[in-house]
């Protein structure tokens, strides 16, 4: 068993860390306060070969392995979850999904545009009444001979306001549940594809774009089908298998970001005539946090490694997402406490980490759903 990163993985980690620390971190607080996504970072990600990292080079990607991709998500998550969330939806839920399921024509048309960041991608699965139970979706795909008519509503669609391409999931027959679902590649300037910002102010990820999309008789050609009719649920689930790896790695980054902040603060803050880090109670907090970060990281790298070997990863990825997001939630809570009043204000980033991490426990399948996936894999289907 080899725990060392390869020279190439180390190079990608260093590049991602420099970009995250020098270009993402300085604008993270402002983006969070203004609620505006720092879109100028997208061409930079593309220039650095990080925007569509795991995509094959022939489609404009960097062909990086999944361990490198996890390192990249971790470095971004360590400073700004909104930017990490943007990337994992664009690169993983959309670009890699097209690479897996698309026809050669679809790949040639869309992947280079996505890799260069000229087009942004979004993944439209969730509906008001179909969140955890994704197969209960009501958005309809009506077969009209040479085209489909899509009608319905999707919510909480990350990148949904600026995306030029959406993977839209819709059903031909709601009563067939997952067997009726189709996936479509919809160009967002198609008439009938209408987007709106989500109402209300969100707890975290305030710089992320979250859209409500209404499909009002949106007409798409048969050639827009991604995979075969009825295969859409498998398209969605296989994309989430990869997407959840990026979320797990992002959570490792948040947990590490909390630990980094706590170490600095525990060294510099003095109370009762000594550094607060010299109190055993805080030392225990830091030690527990470090142990959880390590465990979360190892589970995440294992899931990435399994993907690189082409081995089944559904259970390992759900374990990584479950453990890493729960560990980061605890780390963020402890980090705010350790910083006292300062941690409660946005003077320090731990307050933002604390708000953002809740989102990671929810999106791309809640912690409850990860437990369902793990338990079903343990128990198998009833014979
Ligand atoms: N890969 C490929 N196929 C899979 C699969 C996977 N990981 N998981 C299941 N399938 C297949 C099954 O094999 C089955 O196919 P067969 O009928 O041929 O056997 C079919 O899909 C149905 O599977 P289930 O019976 O397990 O389906 P279910 O309805 O019980 O649901 C679930 C399973 C795991 C709970 C699923 O509904 C789920 O993951 N829910 C959470 C949804 C989710 O994560 N939503 C987040 C959306 S994206 C987002 O958060 C924000 C954003 O902007 C991106």
Q: What pLDDT does 53 receive?
A: 87
Residue 168 belongs to a domain: yes
pLDDT tens figures, 300-340 = 999 999 999 999 999 999 999 999 999 999 999 999 999 99
Q: Are residues 244 and 371 in the same domain?
A: yes
Q: What percent of the chain has pLDDT over 70?
A: 100
- Return the CATH number at 77: 1.10.540.10
Q: What pLDDT does 200 receive?
A: 87
What's the rounded mean pLDDT across residues 245-251?
A: 98
Residue 37 belongs to a domain: yes
Q: Determine which residue's CA is closest to atom 12 belonging to ligand 1.
A: 234
What is the ipTM metric for this complex?
A: 0.96
Q: Are residues 165 and 85 in the same domain?
A: no
Q: To 10 degrees, the CA torsion angle through 139, 144, 145, 146?
A: -70
- Whether the pLDDT of residue 166 is over 80: the answer is yes
**Band of residue 236 on the pLDDT scale cut at 50, 70, 90:** very high
Q: What pLDDT does 230 receive?
A: 97
CB-ligand 1 contact for 207 (6 Å cutoff): no
Q: Are residues 74 and 155 in the same domain?
A: no
Q: Are the C-beta atoms of residues 125 and 87 closer than 8 Å to each other?
A: no
Phi, psi of 280 (to 5 degrees): -60, -30
Distance 281 CA to ligand 1 centre (A): 43
- The residue to mutate among 127, 135, 318, having the most atoms of ligand 1 within 8 angstroms of its beta carbon, is 135
Residue 273 CA, chain-centre distance (Å), reads 44
Q: Look-up: residue for tokens 């939630």? A: 329
**Band of residue 382 on the pLDDT scale cut at 50, 70, 90:** confident
Q: What is the mean pLDDT of the chain?
A: 97
Q: Are residues 243 and 150 in the same domain?
A: no
Q: Are residues 217 and 288 in the same domain?
A: no
What's the rounded mean pLDDT across residues 2-13?
A: 97
What's the rounded mean pLDDT across residues 78-96?
A: 98
What's the rounded mean pLDDT across residues 54-76?
A: 97
Q: Are residues 167 and 44 in the same domain?
A: no
What's the rounded mean pLDDT across residues 263-285?
A: 98
Q: Are residues 175 and 252 in the same domain?
A: no
| Separation of alpha carbons 103 and 2, rounded Å | 37
Q: Are residues 156 and 183 in the same domain?
A: yes
CB-ligand 1 contact for 101 (6 Å cutoff): no
Q: Determine which residue's CA is closest to atom 40 belonging to ligand 1.
A: 132
Distance 213 CA to ligand 1 centre (A): 21
Q: Closest ligand 1 atom, CA of 365? A: 44
Among 75, 98, 116, the domain boundary falls at: 116
Q: Determine which residue's CA is closest to atom 13 belonging to ligand 1.
A: 234
CA distances from 287 to 39, 55, 292, 334 (A): 37, 38, 9, 12
Q: What pLDDT does 125 receive?
A: 98
Distance 241 CA to ligand 1 centre (A): 9
Distance 103 CA to ligand 1 centre (A): 22
CB-ligand 1 contact for 364 (6 Å cutoff): yes
Instruction: Please indicate whether residue 364 is annotated as part of the active site.
Output: yes
Residue 200 belongs to a domain: yes
Domain of residue 249: give its range: 234-379
CB-ligand 1 contact for 127 (6 Å cutoff): no
Distance 312 CA to ligand 1 centre (A): 15
Residue 1 belongs to a domain: no
CA distances from 138 to 187, 215, 319, 348, 355 (A): 21, 12, 30, 43, 31
Residue 311 belongs to a domain: yes
Q: Are residues 276 and 354 in the same domain?
A: yes
CB-ligand 1 contact for 116 (6 Å cutoff): no
Residue 280 belongs to a domain: yes
Q: Are residues 244 and 201 in the same domain?
A: no
Please tell me which residue in 74, 209, 351, 364 is annotated as part of the active site. Answer: 364
Q: Look-up: residue for tokens 């999944």? A: 66
Among 82, 116, 150, the domain boundary falls at: 116
- Return the CATH number at 256: 1.20.140.10
CB-ligand 1 contact for 124 (6 Å cutoff): no
Q: What pLDDT does 1 receive?
A: 86
Residue 2 belongs to a domain: no
CB-ligand 1 contact for 240 (6 Å cutoff): yes
CB-ligand 1 contact for 241 (6 Å cutoff): yes
Per-position DSSP letters for 75-136, written without gaps between them: HHHTT-HHHHHHHIIIIIIIIIHHHHH--HHHHHHHHHHHHHTSS-EEEE--BTTBSS-GGG
What's the rounded mean pLDDT across residues 195-218?
A: 95
Among 181, 204, 230, the domain boundary falls at: 230
Structural domain count of the chain: 3
Distance 234 CA to ligand 1 centre (A): 7
- Return the CATH number at 142: 2.40.110.10
pLDDT tens figures, 134-144 = 999 999 999 99
Q: What pLDDT does 92 receive?
A: 97
Q: Are residues 271 and 212 in the same domain?
A: no
What's the rounded mean pLDDT across residues 151-169?
A: 98
Q: Closest ligand 1 atom, CA of 158? A: 53
Q: What pLDDT does 201 receive?
A: 87
- Whether the pLDDT of residue 131 is over 80: the answer is yes
**Band of residue 276 on the pLDDT scale cut at 50, 70, 90:** very high
Q: Are the C-beta atoms of residues 267 and 341 closer than 8 Å to each other?
A: no
Q: Are residues 290 and 163 in the same domain?
A: no
- Whether the pLDDT of residue 381 is over 90: the answer is no
């Amino acid at each position: 068993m080899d725990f060392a990163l390869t020279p190439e993985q180390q190079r990608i980690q260093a590049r991602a860390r420099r970009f995250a620390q020098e270009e993402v971190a300085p604008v993270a607080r402002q983006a969070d306060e203004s609620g505006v996504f720092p879109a100028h970072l997208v061409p930079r990600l593309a220039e650095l070969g990080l925007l569509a990292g795991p995509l094959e080079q022939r489609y404009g990607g960097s062909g990086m392995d999944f361990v490198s991709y996890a390192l990249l998500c971790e470095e971004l998550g360590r400073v700004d979850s909104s930017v990490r969330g943007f990337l994992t939806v664009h690169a993983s839920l959309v670009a890699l999904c097209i690479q897996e399921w698309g026809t050669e024509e679809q790949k040639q048309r869309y992947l280079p545009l996505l890799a260069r960041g000229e087009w942004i991608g979004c993944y439209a699965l969730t509906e008001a009444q179909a969140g955890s139970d994704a197969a209960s979706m009501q958005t309809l795909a009506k077969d009209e001979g040479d085209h489909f008519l899509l009608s319905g509503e999707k919510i909480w669609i990350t990148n949904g306001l600026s995306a030029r391409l959406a993977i839209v999931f819709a059903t031909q027959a709601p009563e067939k549940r997952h067997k009726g679902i189709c996936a479509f590649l919809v160009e967002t300037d198609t008439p009938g594809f209408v987007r709106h910002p989500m109402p209300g102010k969100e707890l975290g990820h305030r710089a992320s774009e979250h859209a409500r999309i209404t499909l009002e008789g949106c007409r798409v050609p048969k050639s827009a089908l991604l995979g075969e009719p009825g295969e859409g649920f498998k398209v969605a689930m296989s994309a989430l298998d990869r997407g959840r790896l990026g979320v797990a790695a992002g959570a490792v980054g948040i947990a590490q970001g909390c630990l980094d902040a706590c170490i600095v603060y525990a060294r510099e803050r003095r109370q009762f005539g000594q550094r607060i880090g010299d109190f055993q109670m805080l030392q225990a907090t830091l030690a527990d946090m470090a142990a959880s970060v390590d465990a979360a990281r190892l589970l995440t790298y294992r899931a990435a490694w399994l993907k690189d070997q082409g081995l089944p990863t559904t259970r390992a990825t759900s374990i990584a997402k479950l453990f890493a997001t729960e560990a980061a939630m605890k780390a963020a809570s402890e980090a705010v406490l350790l910083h006292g009043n300062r941690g409660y204000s946005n003077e320090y980033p731990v307050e933002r980490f604390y708000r953002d991490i809740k989102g990671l426990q929810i999106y791309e399948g809640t912690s409850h759903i990860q437990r369902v996936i793990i338990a079903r894999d343990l128990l198998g289907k009833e014979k």
